[in-house]
Amino acid sequence: MHQDKHLYLNGQWVNGEGLTRQIINPATEEILTTIKEASKEQAEDAVTYAAQAFQQTDWAVNKEKRIKVLKTAAGLLEESADEVARLETLNTGKPIREAILDIYDSAACLRYYADLMSQAEFWKKEMEDGTVSEVRKEPIGVCSLIVPWNFPLLLGMWKIAPALAAGNTVIYKPSEITPVTALKFTEILEKSGVPAGVFNLVLGEGDPIGQTLVSSEKVDKVSFTGGSETGRKINQECAGSFKRVSLELGGKSPLIVLEDADIKLAAEWAIFGSFFNQGEVCVASSRLLVHENIYEEFIAELLEKVKNLKIGDPLKEETDFGPVISEQHLRKIEDYIKIGKAEGAECLYGGERVGSKGLYITPVIFSNVNQNMRIVQEEIFGPVVTIQTFNTEQEAIELANGTRFGLAAGVLSADAEKADRIASQIKAGTIWINSYHTPYVEAPWGGYKQSGIGRELGPQGLDGFMETKHINKKEHLEPLNWYTFKN
Ligand code: NDP
């Protein structure tokens, strides 16, 4: 890792002139590294460099160069996958098996958008009057890409890969607490031949660094993943100048377990949906909706399996469940556990800190909840799941749709047709039937309702970084024959 210079501006590694921050390993609470963050002026400079690179280099028009850089970066990332995965685990606490998936998914994302760009064909038609109507796609310009701490590299790549493939220039800001793989990936992009100013890495807090990257007049598009409240502020800021914006926000996703589901398998998928990455996943199935006839049996299976999860050192291959991201976040989770109990919910399991070192907490299962409780309505973004029962399909659908969010959902059933019927009535951007969590780079990702605006991944993810231009072309100027004129 770059030991002393932590910003990448206009093709140069430079010293941050803002705050100094200690980056903590959540598994040990020891200092992993110390970062010199950007000053507000350096964030402004980054935007200026990106704007200059957009105007003055051939990046926007040289598709071959872009494809080559992205494919080279994908190869280099795969070559160093073990090292990068280890860094991601040290910084986030996510189990190493999960980190490895993130790194290969990131490389696949780079390759997918390089391929999509190389195959891109735009619509063209000769009209009745001889006009050739051509729809072209162009890069938007300077893009600020802002991501949270739960999947630092992967969520970054969902923006970096399509933004660069489309020909934009970018400023990338990961969360202030998880900058480590962003530094490593920037080295990889540099080695891959990205031209100066095309990709700029700016580290620092949401206020003022993120805000500067959102409000600058030179920024043409903001692509943001994070909490709904931050997303609302960003949306309001962008509205002032009609700046392009896409928002991937929070969720409170339901997993519906139908009466005919295999209970043992359903319990395992529910654990995967709810507690993968310690539940710090935007699409986590944080609300389990279980048919009342199988409730008792399902709970028994779920509890037995949860109690047997291997909680511990995330660097160990066999670990199922690591620490949560920070002391502050752990306290937020504990506050929600208290809120749930005060609201009258029954905590069937979990919520205990584990060991004396590291930010570990046992996964939490709440029963006896109702739809109005805060633990059912608000995103906790940690290992806390609520269980409700239903009797009819209609009841399950109403409970599933009964929050302000609409990011994802799951349906587990032996009857895939019935599950599909339910899926079609759920207001969510991604629905898994008899599975959960896997994102496919070829397919769109994003939210209904207050879970976001726009889509990432798939062709839609590339479209989000392009403007559409319609050119009407005639070879010669012909008489118009429209006006009658006085003489
Ligand atoms: P935040 O909204 O607090 O932060 C997200 C990013 O935005 C961070 O880089 C943060 O910087 C930055 N930021 C904060 N304030 C501003 C601002 N005013 N202007 C510009 N940037 C700002 O979210 P968390 O980091 O707490 O992440 C958790 C949230 O992310 C959850 O709600 C989760 O659901 C959502 N999420 C959504 C996903 C999706 O695909 N829909 C995927 C993953 C997560 P810093 O932290 O450095 O201060």
191 and 313 in a single domain? The answer is no
pLDDT category at 37 given cuts 50, 70, 90 is very high
297 and 424 in a single domain? The answer is yes
Q: What is the DSSP letter of 177?
A: T
Residue 104, SS3 per DSSP: helix
How many helices (H) and strands (E) would you count in the chain?
A: 15, 22
Best mutation site among 37, 47, 146 for ligand 1 pocket (most ligand atoms within 8 Å of CB): 146
Question: Does 1 reside within a domain?
Answer: no
Q: What is the DSSP letter of 353?
A: B
Taking residues 245-264, what's their average pLDDT? Answer: 98
181 and 67 in a single domain? The answer is yes
Q: What distance in angstroms lies between residue 210's CA and the mean position of ligand 1's atoms?
A: 10
Question: For position 121, what pLDDT does the model report?
Answer: 82
131 and 268 in a single domain? The answer is no
Owning domain of residue 99:
7-249+451-472
pLDDT at 3 over 70: no
Best mutation site among 147, 158, 175 for ligand 1 pocket (most ligand atoms within 8 Å of CB): 175
Q: How far apart are CA 254 and CA 283, in angstroms?
A: 9
Q: What distance in angstroms lies between residue 226's CA and the mean position of ligand 1's atoms?
A: 3
Q: What distance in angstroms lies between residue 329's CA and the mean position of ligand 1's atoms?
A: 13
Q: Which residues sit with their C-beta closer than 6 Å to ligand 1?
A: 146-150, 155, 173, 175-176, 205-207, 210-211, 214, 225-227, 230, 233-234, 248-251, 282, 379, 381, 407, 447, 452
Kindly report whether the global pTM for this prediction surpasses the value 0.85.
yes
Q: How far apart are CA 451 and CA 37, in angstroms?
A: 30
191 and 311 in a single domain? The answer is no
215 and 292 in a single domain? The answer is no
Nearest CA to ligand 1 atom 35: 226
> In the chain, pLDDT over 90 holds for what percent of residues?
98
Q: List pLDDT tens digits, range 56-101.
A: 999 999 999 999 999 999 999 999 999 999 999 999 999 999 999 9
Could you tell me the CATH number of the domain that includes residue 427? 3.40.309.10
Q: How far apart are CA 188 and CA 179, in angstroms?
A: 15
Question: Does 352 reside within a domain?
Answer: yes
Question: Does 357 reside within a domain?
Answer: yes
Question: For position 122, what pLDDT does the model report?
Answer: 83
Question: Does 72 reside within a domain?
Answer: yes
Q: What distance in angstroms lies between residue 333's CA and the mean position of ligand 1's atoms?
A: 17
Q: What distance in angstroms lies between residue 200's CA and the mean position of ligand 1's atoms?
A: 19
pLDDT at 184 over 90: yes
Counting from 1 in the atom list of ligand 1, the atom nearest the Cα of 282 is 34
Taking residues 280-284, what's their average pLDDT? Answer: 98
pLDDT at 168 over 60: yes
Counting from 1 in the atom list of ligand 1, the atom nearest the Cα of 177 is 47
Counting from 1 in the atom list of ligand 1, the atom nearest the Cα of 379 is 32
393 and 300 in a single domain? The answer is yes
Q: Closest by alpha carbon to 197, among 170, 236, 215, 166?
A: 170
Question: Does 157 reside within a domain?
Answer: yes
Question: Does 91 reside within a domain?
Answer: yes
**Residues 248, 280, 301, 456: which is the catalytic one?**
248
Counting from 1 in the atom list of ligand 1, the atom nearest the Cα of 451 is 41
Structure token digits, residue 43: 């964030």
DSSP H or E stretch at residue 247: strand 244-248
The number of distinct structural domains making up the chain is 2
pLDDT category at 487 given cuts 50, 70, 90 is confident
Taking residues 412-421, what's their average pLDDT? Answer: 97
Counting from 1 in the atom list of ligand 1, the atom nearest the Cα of 447 is 41
Taking residues 370-386, what's their average pLDDT? Answer: 98
Q: What distance in angstroms lies between residue 474's CA and the mean position of ligand 1's atoms?
A: 48
**Quick check: is 282 catalytic?**
yes
Could you tell me the CATH number of the domain that includes residue 80? 3.40.605.10
Q: How far apart are CA 428 and CA 253, in angstroms?
A: 8
**Quick check: is 248 catalytic?**
yes
Nearest CA to ligand 1 atom 14: 206
Question: Does 404 reside within a domain?
Answer: yes
Q: List pLDDT tens digits, range 347-365.
A: 999 999 999 999 999 999 9
Question: For position 2, what pLDDT does the model report?
Answer: 56
Q: How far apart are CA 418 and CA 115, in angstroms?
A: 36
Nearest CA to ligand 1 atom 11: 206
Structure token digits, residue 127: 């009209």
Nearest CA to ligand 1 atom 20: 210
Scan for tokens 């690591």, then name that residue.
322
234 and 265 in a single domain? The answer is no
Q: List pLDDT tens digits, range 99-140.
A: 999 999 999 999 999 999 999 888 899 999 999 999 999 999
Question: Does 440 reside within a domain?
Answer: no
360 and 308 in a single domain? The answer is yes
314 and 258 in a single domain? The answer is yes
Question: For position 155, what pLDDT does the model report?
Answer: 98
Taking residues 211-216, what's their average pLDDT? Answer: 98
pLDDT at 51 over 80: yes
Q: What distance in angstroms lies between residue 452's CA and the mean position of ligand 1's atoms?
A: 12
